[in-house]
Structure 1
Amino acid sequence: MKRLGLFLLLVLLMGISLFVGVKDLTITDLFAGSVQQQLVFFATRIPRTISLLLAGSTLSVCGLIMQHLTQNKFVSPTTAGTMDSARLGILVVMLFLPNAPLSIRSFVAFLFAFLGTMVFLGLTKLLPARNQLMLPLIGVMFGNIVGSIATFFAYQFQLVQNMSSWLQGNFSVVMKGSYELLYLTIPLFIVIYLFAYQFTIVGFGEDLATNLGVNYRWMQIFGVGLVALASAVVLIMVGSIPFLGVIIPNLVSLIYGDNIKNTLPITAIAGSIFLLICDIIARVVIAPYEVPVSVVVGVLGSILFVILLTRRAKS
């Protein structure tokens, strides 16, 4: 019953997202054949709504996988250096291959994200900590170091404004022909679902996973690869969105448990719902102007994060 309610809420928010914006759209005019309204609807509103669905679900699922790979509820691509490493990769492409196609940019971003995440996992083995907050704190520090390197070189080559504007989480520029790479996340969902049992076992630790016949190291590398690829795609298409990969998996696990095969679809839907709500708020709060959705996600996410910290501390 709860799942049905989530699905209906998602459909409702999708409908609202399609008809909220600077240009007023009506169903009557769309069916009447208004060329201008159909152009806005099919060229901007549908691509934007689809990109919100895919980005929200992708970042939430990536956070879920990262939390199982590290056995820590506060780790996500934004707190493990994954996103910052991908940004460094994008800067490298902008410096040395400024005219490179999107596929090359995506591959380099994925490569840097993968290597950065593996370095973070290596740091977690060198600096073991029982405190749940210590691991994401190490990840944030590592990400800030990588981000500082990227900012330094961007400043040296006068690319700070270009990189900052491009990588800020914002869906206002999403249009037909500029978001289709996000469809790559769909087969990644399928692969993650097929290996959901193995990822769940990995979440119990190396000793138990090995006893149950799961190759812990290879599954960890495989999971990091999937997360890095999905995170790089989202970063290139719509920019960086904070907190989503931490908050949504935690909220879902509090209600539905930690079995990935059961919670994966719910996590994806909940992530899309949360991002749709934030994007709708971003469009209407100072209409006809628009706030970057990353700002709204950051504000709401920080509030929810404090609530989660309090809840986890009591439990």
Structure 2
Amino acid sequence: MGALIGVSLVVLAAVSLFVGVSDVTPASLLEGGADGTAAFLLAASRVPRTVAVLLTGASLGIAGLILQMLVRNKFVEPGTTGVTEFATLGMLVAIVLWPGLAVMGKMGVAAAFGLVGTWVFLRVVRAVPVRQLVLVPLVGIMLGGIVGAVTAFFAYRLDLLQSLAQWSQGSFATVMAGRYEYVWIAGVMVIVAWVAADRFSVIGLGEEFATNLGLDYRRVVAIGMVIVAVITAAVLVTAGMIPFLGLVVPNIVSLIIGDNVRRSIPWVAGLGALFVLACDLIARTVRFPYEIPLSVIVGVVGAGLFLWLLLRKGSRAH
């Protein structure tokens, strides 16, 4: 299974380099040489886009996995806990208060707000005991809805809805060299998550169990919150909101190999990257030469997978 994911990634990544309106083919690369138009488009647009897609899919899958360990619930991810909405609110604050701020600064503000959002969600879940697992993400969706409504209200009053929309709509259409490098920070967070993987596995068993083993529970939770917030912000400023990815990918991996975080991280990263890459290719080709926003394709496919996870035979989630 792992080999199949790896081979599929290589094949689809190669296909992604040559899919687009402009004529970039192996033949045009050979004819034009290293200084030709095709080579320039490949280096400036196609390669950055493919790399950004792979890093986004891998990192968002890991963010969902870590958040599920923190909450001890299989049906949460940044998009169903209010983290993404808090990060978007941070982006609006940065646009209003510091309009000339560089993208890195906006990402920092978004990450700070995402961190607050993660903390707020964890506090709400602890304060409101929920017996059914599927109700936990509903609490997060309601929290996100409130924050999203506040963000939309102020964006409307300040005539910034259009500016905010370009950050919140998931798409890689504008990704090119010099505009995607921030997502590498999300890739660094994946490495941090892998280093701390065993600790996340332990806290997934509960605070008392982790404390009895001598683990600093709050420190590990804080590390997980930072990982989720930074990944969410990095993806937001690069491609916008991408729903359901952090929810369905870790659950599918869990069905295949179990809940060991260290063992799951390579699988989640690989399957997440493959999932987003496949959806991106569909978004680019289904109405060629026009492009459908990636969030639409991921939302439709992800929602279907989410329903299957809830309704599959033998599921105890409800």
What is the TM-score when the length of structure 2 is the normalising length?
0.97
- Cα distance in 2 between the residues matched to 1:176 and 1:234: 16
User: Corresponding residue for 1:165?
Assistant: 166
- Cα distance in 2 between the residues matched to 1:308 and 1:189: 25
User: Corresponding residue for 1:7?
Assistant: 6
The answer as to whether partners of 2:309 and 2:315 remain within 8 angstroms in 1 is: no
1:139-177 Cα shifts (integer Å, max 9, x gaps): 000011011111010000000111112320010110111
Name the SS of the counterpart of 2:17 in structure 1: helix
The within-5 A match list for 1:218-297 is 218-297=219-298
Within the alignment, does 1:30 sit opposite 2:23 as a pair? no
Cα gap change, 1:307/1:49 in structure 2, threshold over 3 Å: closer, same or farther?
same
Name the SS of the counterpart of 2:186 in structure 1: helix
1:90-132 Cα shifts (integer Å, max 9, x gaps): 0001111100112211111011000111011000011011211
User: Corresponding residue for 1:105?
Assistant: 106
1:11-33 Cα shifts (integer Å, max 9, x gaps): 01101111111123221221333
- Cα distance in 2 between the residues matched to 1:101 and 1:310: 45
In the TM superposition, what is the alpha-carbon distance from 1:83 to its structure 2 partner?
0.5
Name the SS of the counterpart of 1:75 in structure 2: coil
User: Corresponding residue for 1:214?
Assistant: 215
Name the SS of the counterpart of 1:208 in structure 2: helix
**Which letter maps to 1:86?**
A
In the TM superposition, what is the alpha-carbon distance from 1:53 to its structure 2 partner?
0.3
Runs of 4+ in structure 1 over 3 Å off: none
Name the SS of the counterpart of 1:55 in structure 2: helix
User: Corresponding residue for 1:67?
Assistant: 68
Name the SS of the counterpart of 1:78 in structure 2: helix
User: Corresponding residue for 1:298?
Assistant: 299
- Cα distance in 2 between the residues matched to 1:76 and 1:25: 37
- Cα distance in 2 between the residues matched to 1:42 and 1:153: 39
Name the SS of the counterpart of 1:30 in structure 2: helix
The answer as to whether partners of 2:167 and 2:236 remain within 8 angstroms in 1 is: no
In the TM superposition, what is the alpha-carbon distance from 1:313 to its structure 2 partner?
5.8
Count of matched residue pairs: 314
In the TM superposition, what is the alpha-carbon distance from 1:217 to its structure 2 partner?
1.8
1:244-285 Cα shifts (integer Å, max 9, x gaps): 000000000000110010010110010000001100000111
Structure 1 portions without partners, runs of 5+: none
Within the alignment, does 1:142 sit opposite 2:125 as a pair? no
The answer as to whether partners of 2:283 and 2:294 remain within 8 angstroms in 1 is: yes
User: Corresponding residue for 1:16?
Assistant: 15
In the TM superposition, what is the alpha-carbon distance from 1:312 to its structure 2 partner?
7.3
- Cα distance in 1 between the residues matched to 2:188 and 2:280: 25
Name the SS of the counterpart of 2:80 in structure 1: coil
What is the TM-score when the length of structure 1 is the normalising length?
0.97
1:23-65 Cα shifts (integer Å, max 9, x gaps): 2322122133351111111111000000000000111000000
- Cα distance in 2 between the residues matched to 1:67 and 1:225: 14
**Which letter maps to 1:285?**
V
Name the SS of the counterpart of 1:180 in structure 2: coil
The within-5 A match list for 1:85-124 is 85-124=86-125
User: Corresponding residue for 1:128?
Assistant: 129
- Cα distance in 2 between the residues matched to 1:160 and 1:313: 44
Percent sequence identity is 43
